[in-house]
Every structure is written in structure tokens, then in C-alpha cells.
């Protein structure tokens, strides 16, 4: 696949194919100074080359300069470090605990399913905004599961392995260090069952959550990409710039976008 096949380069050269076939070094005595635009495109090529094939296929073709402008807008907006990749290949350490975790208390915006829930401050603020919007339409959001420590997730995962077997447990829950819940920016809403999508709250979130910066982490039909079966209740706060970027360039699949951003940040 040629990424951004319809690119409109501002330089008097052919469109850039982000799948690099060969890099020819300059003579040793020549010091090549790349223009900022060329350097950005080369970094984009390198990041793209690091992606799994399914992620590459999920990226929308388009103008690379437009893509880069959108990317920088997302990265500049991410002042709260919301765009960390945590999955079955990218682990959080056992001692990873966000510094701005706050306990959730009864309030006039959303309901709590238990009294020991907590979130990072930016996620809690965003949850209040979204819950208020839902409330104005007669919808009540219920937070049922939020931040989980490494040790808590270990307990949950090991219990599921005992009850279901490892193969089934790996579809349902994350091993310790691989859970988005440890980031402190995830809310499991409502009943935490497939039936949640049929409820007014489930349907409202499906339609509106991205407008408030919340992204469905494990969409239906993408278990081979995310590693988890569909979870219609599991939303992660990533900010409105990121949800717009996800929709525009990554087939509205959070995992594709997170993998790309991780690759981009890893390229020197």
C-alpha cells in the first residue's frame, strides 16, 4: 500500500511514497542539510515503516502535509500526556501510577456504581462535561470501573484465568501492565455487558462520546487489531483533537492512531 498516494507536494518533485525502497547515502565529504519539510516527510516514512500491515491499511490516503499539520495539532494539544500506547505489546511498569489521580465522589453530573473509583483529573473534568451534555438530553451516565492499579489488574486477570482459562481470559481482560485502566483515563460505563449498547446511555455514548474527547477502545470487528473482543462500554479519554484525528485519518480506530503516534515518537 502506498500511504498518502494522492499527496500534493509543495516541492517540484514527484509525490512522496512513504514506503521507502532504498536510501542512497551522500558521499562522505558532502554534508546534506534537509529542509524542514523534507525532514518531516522522511520521519513520516520511517514511522509508517514501523507499523503493522493492518494499521497501514487503516490509514486514509491523503496529503502528507495536511496529515502532518493535523498530527502536530494533536501533539501540541496533548499537554496532559493522554496519548500513551498501552496494549499487549506495550507495557506499563508495576509502579506506574499517574500523579493526578483523584477519587470520584457523588455529584450532580454522573452516577457511581461503587465508592472506590478514581480517575486522572483531566479525565474526570471531561467526564463531567460529557455527563452534563447527556443529562441535558435526559441520559444518565453511570461510571462502573475506572482507574486500576497494576496489582488490582493482576488480581482481576488471574481470577479470570482461573475461571475461564487463559485463552478466554485474554479476550476479556488485560494482563497486568497492559491495561488501559492503569492509565487512569478509562471509564467502563453502565452494566459492562454487551447489552449496554442497547440502553439509552450506550446509544448516546456511541453517537456523541467522541465530540467530548472520549474514544471507544475496542470496537466491534477489530479483535485481531486490539487484542480484545468488542467492549461497547469501555471509553478512553484522549481529547477532542485526538478523536477528530482518529476519525479523519485512522478509520476511527483508536488502536491504529495510538500505534502511529507511538511509532512517530520513537523515530529520531
From CA 82, how far away is CA 3, in angstroms rounded? Answer: 26
The yes-or-no verdict on residue 24 having pLDDT over 80 is: no
From CA 241, how far away is CA 257, in angstroms rounded? Answer: 12
From CA 39, how far away is CA 82, in angstroms rounded? Answer: 26
Q: Are 181 and 231 in contact (CB under 8 A)?
A: no
The yes-or-no verdict on residue 8 having pLDDT over 50 is: no
Show the cell assigned to 158: 488471574
Confidence (pTM): 0.87
Q: What is the CA radius of gyration of the chain?
A: 21
pLDDT band at 25 (very low <50, low <70, confident <90, very high): low
Write down all domains in the chain, each with its CATH number in brackets.
Answer: 1-83+242-268 (no CATH), 101-237 (3.30.1380.10)
DSSP 8-state class, residue 100 = T
The yes-or-no verdict on residue 28 having pLDDT over 60 is: no
- Convert the pLDDT of each residue in 105-163 to its tens digit: 999 999 999 999 999 999 999 999 999 999 999 999 999 999 999 999 999 999 999 99
Bridge partners (DSSP) of residue 235 are 187, 216
Mean residue pLDDT across the chain: 91
Amino acid at each position: 500500500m502506498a500511504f498518502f498516494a494522492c499527496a500534493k507536494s509543495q516541492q517540484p518533485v514527484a509525490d512522496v511514497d512513504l514506503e521507502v525502497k532504498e536510501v542512497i547515502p551522500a558521499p562522505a565529504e558532502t554534508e546534506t542539510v534537509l529542509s524542514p519539510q523534507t525532514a518531516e516527510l522522511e520521519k513520516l516514512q520511517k514511522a509508517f515503516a514501523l507499523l503493522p500491515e493492518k494499521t497501514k491499511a487503516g490509514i486514509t490516503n491523503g496529503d502528507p502535509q495536511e496529515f502532518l499539520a493535523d498530527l502536530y495539532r494533536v501533539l501540541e494539544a496533548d499537554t496532559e500526556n493522554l496519548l500513551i500506547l498501552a496494549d499487549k505489546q506495550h507495557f506499563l511498569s508495576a509502579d506506574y501510577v499517574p500523579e493526578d489521580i483523584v477519587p470520584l465522589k457523588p455529584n450532580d453530573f454522573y452516577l457511581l456504581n461503587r465508592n472506590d473509583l478514581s480517575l486522572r483529573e483531566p479525565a474526570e473534568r471531561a467526564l463531567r462535561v460529557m455527563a452534563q451534555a447527556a443529562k441535558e438530553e435526559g441520559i444518565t451516565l453511570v461510571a462502573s470501573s475506572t482507574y486500576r492499579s497494576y496489582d488490582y489488574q493482576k488480581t482481576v486477570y488471574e481470577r479470570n484465568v482461573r475461571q475461564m482459562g487463559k485463552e478466554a481470559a485474554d479476550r476479556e481482560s488485560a494482563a497486568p501492565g497492559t491495561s488501559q485502566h492503569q492509565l487512569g483515563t478509562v471509564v467502563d460505563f453502565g452494566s459492562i455487558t454487551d447489552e449496554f449498547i442497547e440502553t439509552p446511555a450506550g446509544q448516546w455514548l456511541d453517537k456523541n462520546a467522541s465530540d467530548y474527547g472520549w474514544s471507544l477502545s475496542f470496537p466491534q470487528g477489530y479483535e485481531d487489531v486490539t487484542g480484545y473482543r468488542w467492549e461497547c462500554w469501555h471509553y478512553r479519554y484522549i481529547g477532542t483533537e485526538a478523536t477528530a484525528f482518529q476519525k479523519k485519518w485512522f478509520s476511527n480506530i483508536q488502536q491504529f492512531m495510538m500505534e502511529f503516534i507511538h511509532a512517530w515518537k520513537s523515530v529520531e
